[in-house]
């Protein structure tokens, strides 16, 4: 199973829970919600909303580094990509 395609965006959900923050997909489906003290909730929600772009940027960086680094220099980056994609 893959993740919901980005981009994702933050939305303040005043309908269901005053002050709650939800993360919506491009087609306005709820991807996640953030519950924590306000300052943490906003920071967590921003990071979650940026996740699809962060993953794509990491994949792009690894692709550009291929051939310029030693054979195992990108292993940690590849492990993070695999984890994000649900692979061992």
Domain ranges (residues) in the chain: 9-84
Average pLDDT over residues 81-85: 87
Tokens of 25: 């997909």
Average pLDDT over residues 13-30: 75
Per-residue model confidence (pLDDT) at position 6: 82
Higher pLDDT, 38 or 42: 42
Find out whether 31 and 46 touch, Cβ atoms under 8 Å.
no
Per-residue model confidence (pLDDT) at position 13: 58
Per-residue model confidence (pLDDT) at position 37: 64
pTM: 0.66
Q: Is the pLDDT of residue 48 over 80?
A: yes
Per-residue model confidence (pLDDT) at position 36: 62
User: From residue 83, how far is each of 11, 28, 41, 71, 72 by CA, in Å?
Assistant: 27, 26, 24, 20, 17
Find out whether 66 and 77 touch, Cβ atoms under 8 Å.
no
């Amino acid at each position: 199973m893959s993740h919901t395609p980005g981009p994702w965006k933050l939305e303040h959900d005043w309908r269901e829970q005053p002050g709650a923050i939800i993360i919506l997909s491009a087609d306005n489906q709820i991807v996640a919600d953030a519950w924590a003290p306000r300052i943490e909730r906003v920071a967590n929600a921003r990071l979650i909303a940026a996740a699809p772009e962060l993953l794509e940027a990491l994949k792009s960086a690894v692709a550009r580094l291929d051939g310029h680094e030693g054979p195992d220099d990108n292993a940690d980056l590849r492990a993070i990509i695999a984890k994000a994609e649900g692979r061992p």
